[in-house]
Amino acid sequence: MNFQLTEEQQLIEQSAHDFAKEYLDPITGQLDHTVEFPMAVVKELANHDFLGLHLPIEVGGAGAGFVSYVAVIEGLSRSCAAVASIMNNQAMASYAIQHWGSEVQKKQYVQALVKGETIGAFAIYEHGPTPGIGPDALVATKSDGGYALKGTKAYVRNAGVAAVYVVFAVTDPADPKSLTAFVVDAGVKGLRVGEALTTMGLKGCPVADVIFDNVTVPDTAVLGAVKSGGDVAARVLALASVAEAAQTVGIGQAAVEHAAVYAKQRVQFGKPVATLQPVQTLLAEAATDCYLARLGLRSTAQLVEDGKPFETEAAMVKSFLARLGSKILIDTCQVEGGMGYSETMPLPRLFRDIAGTTLLDAPADFPDYAIAASIA
C-alpha cells in the first residue's frame, strides 16, 4: 500500500503550485474585489493542459487521471479557489459531453473546451427542491425534430461567460425521473442569463440563473439517452464533490501556512506567539485536519481512478470537511487575532471561499444521509 503520489503525479502537483504562484497569486486579491472573470488565466490553464487534465489523450486531454486532478485543484485552490471553481465547472461540462455525448457533440465541443476556446457550464439546479419540481422547473417539451425548453436553471456557475451549457430538463413534468441532459449553445434564441448573483466567496467565478424561454433544440442536442439525465447528473456531481473537497483542503492548507508564518513573526509577551501553547494547539489541530482530509480525499480519488465505487467515501470526505472547513478558518483567524480579521490579510477571503466549497452543491447534512444509507 502506498499513500504517496507517483513521480508523475508529484510533478503535476508541482506544476500546479508553480502555475498558482505565477498566474494566480498576482490576481487573487484583486479578483476578490473586481469579481471579473479571469479569462486570461483560463487561457493559461488551457495552455498548460489543466483544462483537459482528466480527459483522454485522443480528445486532446492529458489523460492524467483523477488523483492528479484533485491534486491540481487543491494546488490551485491554495492560491485562488475561484479559479479552481471555474476549472471544475468547465471540467463538469467537458466530462459529461466526452462520456455521454455523440461523436458529433464530442467533435464540436470537447476539444474547444480543452483548449479554453469555449467556456462550459453545468446547469443542474433549479429554484425548486430538485430538478423538475417547482413552479419554474425547466421542462423539455417534445416537438417535431427536437425539444422546446422552458423554465429556469439556478445557481449556474460560469453563467454568462459560458458558450455551451450542459442542461438538465424533465421531458415529463409529472415524472422527475424523466430528467434528460441536453447540450445547448449559449447563443440560441430564447436563452438568456439572469443578473449575476453576488456571492459570499469564490468571487470571479460567476453565478447566475439561466432562463430558457421556449428555446428550441434539435434531437441531436440530447446528451446520452432521453430520461438518463439523472444518472449523468449523479455521476458528474459525485465527481465534482470530490474536487470541491480538494478545494476545501487547499484553502485550509493555505490558511494554516499563512497563520504559521504569522505566528512566528508576531511577537507578544516578548516571544513569537508560535511558542505559546494555545496558539500551537490551534495550528496543530488545523494542520491535522488538513492532513487527514487530504488522505481521505486522495484515497477517494484513487477509487475513482481505479473505476471502483467511490460515492460513499466522497460523501464521507465532504461531510468531514463540511464540519471542519470553517473550523480550520476560525482557528487560523484566531491565531492571527485582530490582523487576521482584517481584509488586508488573506484569511477573510479564504473564510468566504471555504464557505462556498463546503456549502455549495450539497447542504452539510446531505453527505451524512448518503453515508448512513450505504452502511445501514
Partner 1 sequence: MPKCLVCYKWTLDEKDIKIKPGDLSLDTSRAKGKISDFDRNAIEEATLIQEQHGGAVHALTYGTSAVKQSLKDVLSRGPETVYWIVDNSAETADACVTANVLAAAIRKLGPYDLIICGEGSSDLFNQQTAARLGALLGLPCVTYVEKLSVDGDTVKATRKLADCTEVATVKGPVVVSVLGTINKPRIPSLKQVLGAAKKPNKEIKIADLGLNAEALQSKAVHKSVKGFVAKRKNIVYKEPNAAANVGKLTSSLAAEGVR
Binding residues for partner 1 (CB under 8 A) = 7-8, 11-12, 14-15, 18-19, 22, 47-50, 53, 62-64, 68, 270
Shortest Cβ distance from residue 123 to partner 1 (Å)? 28
Closest distance to partner 1 from the beta carbon of 171 (Å): 39
HEC states along the chain?
A: CCCCCCHHHHHHHHHHHHHHHHHHCCCHHHHHHHCCCCHHHHHHHHHCCCCCCCCCHHHCCCCCCHHHHHHHHHHHHHHCHHHHHHHHHHHHHHHHHHHHCCHHHHHHHHHHHHCCCCCEEEECCCCCCECCECCCCCEEEEECCEEEEEEEEEEEECCCCCCEEEEEEECCCCCHHHEEEEEEECCCCCEEECCCCCCCCCCCCCEEEEEEEEEEEEHHHEECCCCCHHHHHHHHHHHHHHHHHHHHHHHHHHHHHHHHHHHHHCEECCEEHHHCHHHHHHHHHHHHHHHHHHHHHHHHHHHHHCCCCCHHHHHHHHHHHHHHHHHHHHHHHHHHHHHHHCCCCCHHHHHHHHHHHHHCCCCCHHHHHHHHHHHC
Minimum gap (Å) between residue 361 Cβ and partner 1:
26
Give min distance, CB of 309 to partner 1, in A. Answer: 27
CB nearer to partner 1: give 68 or 248.
Answer: 68
Nearest residue (CB) to partner 1, 5 versus 163: 5
Nearest CB to partner 1, comparing residues 68 and 241? 68
> Strands 164-170 and 120-123: what pairing?
parallel
Residue type, 79: S
Question: In angstroms, what is the minimal distance from the CB of 25 to partner 1?
Answer: 13
Nearer to partner 1, 30 or 47 (CB): 47
Closest to partner 1 by CB, 112 vs 370, is: 112
Q: Closer CB to partner 1, residue 45 or residue 370? A: 45
Q: How far is the CB of 68 from partner 1 (least distance, A)?
A: 8
CB of 46 to partner 1, least distance (A): 10
Q: 7 or 103, CB closer to partner 1?
A: 7
Nearer to partner 1, 64 or 210 (CB): 64
Q: How far is the CB of 53 from partner 1 (least distance, A)?
A: 6
